[in-house]
Amino acid sequence: MRDTLGPVYLITDGSAPANGDTVASVEKALQGGVRSVQLREKGLDAKGLLKLAKALRALTHGYGARLIINDRADVALLSGADGVHLGQNSIAPVDARKILGDKMLIGVSTHSLKEAVRAREGGADFIAVGPVYHTPSKAPYGEPIGPDIIREVKAVVDIPVYAIGGIDKDNLKETVLNGADGVAVISAILKSEDIEKSAKEMIAAFRLARGGPSGF
């Protein structure tokens, strides 16, 4: 499952898009090279979430990108998404697997080494670890835990690890040097005045930090 989601894992947030609606904003990010999108719209009811999920499924399919649904296994199934991303208060990965089967991806948000190990042992295909830096969206989960946590988790967990929380093109190098398989972002792309350009810059910065070519 390594590199399943690519270097930049985009997470939507109803308050984030600066230039148009969620679908239009996500398309700009896809045009910039993003190949994984997590639909996280906590303000929508089930009907609205499923409608948006279906629209994003059609869009991401056209770009060969993966669509992950936040928390809702039912919406993931009904929309034909590629998987779900679970929080610490969600159903357990093993229970999500019973609903989704073996072909869909299961991600888990973690905030410590203990939670990361538990997610892996529970059957997660990938995890997000953070908040690495300060960010309003992750403030309820406590103070930033810093990029060193990535190295600690990678030492004992053998699935892809995505750094999350306050990450942008200027500070992501620290997470890469600590072994992150990718970075999960909201604001760094969706709150940009030029979403496509910001997506390209994030991907280029990640590749450069990895020691590879920055271009496509």
Catalytic residue, from 25, 36, 79, 109: name it: 109
Query: 22-31 vs 46-62: helix axis angle to the nearest 10?
Result: 20
CB 54 within 8 A of CB 23: no
Residue bearing the bigger pLDDT, 142 or 191: 191
What is the set of domains in the chain, with CATH numbers? 8-209 (3.20.20.70)
- Count of CB atoms within 10 A of residue 158's CB? 9
Predicted confidence at residue 2, as pLDDT, reads: 42
Give me the amino acid identity at 179. Answer: G
DSSP letter at 205 equals H
Catalytic residue, from 40, 57, 66, 72: name it: 40
Rounded CA separation 179/147 (Å):
9
Whether 109 sits among the annotated catalytic residues: the reply is yes
CB 37 within 8 A of CB 65: yes
Residue-wise pLDDT tens digits, 126-145? 999 999 997 766 566 568 99
Residue-wise pLDDT tens digits, 87-102? 999 999 999 999 999 9
